[in-house]
Structure 1
Amino acid sequence: MFVALEPRRLYRQVAEEIRALIDAGGIAVGERLPSERELAERFGVSRPTVREALIVLEVEGRIQIRVGSGVYVTGKPAFPAKVLPHDDSESPFEILQARCLIEGAIAEEAARRITPDGIARLNETLERMEASVEDASQALFWDRAFHTAITDMIGNGALNRFTGIIYDSRMSPYFEKLASHFEGPHTWRLAVEEHKAIRDAIRTGDPAGAREAMRHHLTQSQQRFSESFGEEPTRED
């Protein structure tokens, strides 16, 4: 199951509340923020929402996330990074849910339109992705190539543009910082195996299996991003 989505922009509101707390001196430079669990209870939101808010503040340079230790205030930078535009930007979890719904249908249709060239292209991208799991930028490149190759099998230009645009929404400082905490060779290897299941269902002409394999892959991707930043330390009185 997908992690429950919060109302739009809620993670941005939480980031603003934490930022205001720091600016008011509620937490001094060098001090540790309350745990994810405590912040989630304080603001009445889910822990993934807190996690997204903390990533905003980390990219801005306001906090430092030390996996396995906690989250620490670093002060107010002279030139804070511009992380998000002033519109109703989608969160990574919204993007992954949208991809799950739409790319699941795309994979289903691709399984009805298999061609030798299409399968050969999927095989090639999988081989290159598997060889690139130690290099995040290359793994990401071939990951994108795999998903667009599936869409190409349908031959619909609008769907092709959609797949590229929604995938490229992760190419931002915010998403890159989130990925830096949760993606690595191990998760890329898991993604390769999930991609193989998608390829196999398409290759055998199994539309329902292809849809389910894509749904499973993108659900697992969201679950990986939903993990905690690490063991939250016990506070001393």
Structure 2
Amino acid sequence: MQGGRALADHLTAEMAAGKLKEGMKLPPERELGERFGVSRGAVRRVLATFREQGLITQMVGSGTFVCAKAETLFEPRAVPAATAHTSPAELMVGRLLLEPLMPGLIVQHATAADFERMVECLGQAESAPTIEAFEHWDEALHRSFALATHNSFFVQVLDLTNRIREQGEWGRLKRISLTDETRKQYEIQHRAIVNALRDRDAELARKLLTEHLRQIQRNLFG
């Protein structure tokens, strides 16, 4: 049941992020089942729900495809007026207050698929050829933490965080502070956090995540 929920959450999030668009083909049922650790029957139930909602269509012999309606879930990532003037310093204060609360929920609710997504983000970030690409996967990793809580409040908080990070001032500070040395440091910290979460060690993960965020704060502002 939990794996089925993780699959449904993943598909919804990908559609809402504009990554699953009309005409795109979903992986086969067997592959989805293996990835999310659920039976093919559970996968079919999730897909049936999405089909009933008009989000996908299934054609025998061809596969499962995303319908145009899925794009109605997509919301442009414009920064809301209320957050348009949130400074990087204010953002970091908020992150330090909220993100360390997530490990407690993650160790209770995260699925194998959640951890696979974290590991995927780690690998992509470590192989990213540019600062912009690294920043993208850095954002994706922290969002994967929020998704792994299976609590929509934290997902919305991280989405808001990432919208604010798209502002020019954050990008300018990140380009100045993100040297090869600091990037390597972040990568090591990221892996340590994920390993603690996979070990279901909430206290250690909370400590490591807090240290990581404080390191970012020091690097950005001195």
Q: TM bucket by the smaller chain?
A: 0.5 to 0.7
* Aligned counterpart for 2:187 among listed residues 183, 192, 214: 192
- The answer to which structure has the higher helix fraction is 2
1:128 paired residue number: 124
1:213 paired residue number: 208
2:132 paired residue number: 137
Provide the aligned length of Structure 1 versus Structure 2: 142
1:146 paired residue number: 141
1:173 paired residue number: 168
- Quote the Cα distance in structure 1 between the aligned partners of 2:210 and 2:160: 19
- Quote the Cα distance in structure 2 between the aligned partners of 1:179 and 1:185: 12
- Quote the Cα distance in structure 1 between the aligned partners of 2:155 and 2:82: 28
Which amino acid in structure 2 is aligned with residue 154 of structure 1? T
- Quote the Cα distance in structure 2 between the aligned partners of 1:223 and 1:177: 15
- Quote the Cα distance in structure 2 between the aligned partners of 1:87 and 1:187: 28
Q: Secondary structure at the match of 1:90?
A: coil
Contact 1:112 1:207 in 2 (8 A): no
Deviations 1:60-114 (A, max 9, x none): xxxxxxxxxxxxxxxxxxxxxxxxx898933212211211221110123212223
Deviations 1:159-183 (A, max 9, x none): 2111111122121122222222111
2:103 paired residue number: 107
1:65 paired residue number: none
Which amino acid in structure 2 is aligned with residue 163 of structure 1? L
Contact 1:104 1:214 in 2 (8 A): yes
2:217 paired residue number: 222
Change (3 A) 1:196 1:87: closer
Which amino acid in structure 2 is aligned with residue 201 of structure 1? A
Which amino acid in structure 1 is aligned with residue 126 of structure 2? E
- What is the CA distance between 1:130 and its match in structure 2? 0.6
Contact 2:125 2:137 in 1 (8 A): yes
List alignment gaps of at least 5 residues for structure 2: 1-80
Contact 2:84 2:164 in 1 (8 A): no
- Quote the Cα distance in structure 1 between the aligned partners of 2:84 and 2:166: 17
Q: Secondary structure at the match of 2:137?
A: helix
- Quote the Cα distance in structure 2 between the aligned partners of 1:88 and 1:170: 11
- Quote the Cα distance in structure 2 between the aligned partners of 1:135 and 1:191: 15
Deviations 1:13-48 (A, max 9, x none): xxxxxxxxxxxxxxxxxxxxxxxxxxxxxxxxxxxx
Q: Percent identity?
A: 22
Contact 2:83 2:164 in 1 (8 A): no
- What is the CA distance between 1:186 and its match in structure 2? 2.3
List alignment gaps of at least 5 residues for structure 1: 1-84, 228-237
Structure possessing the higher radius of gyration over alpha carbons: 1
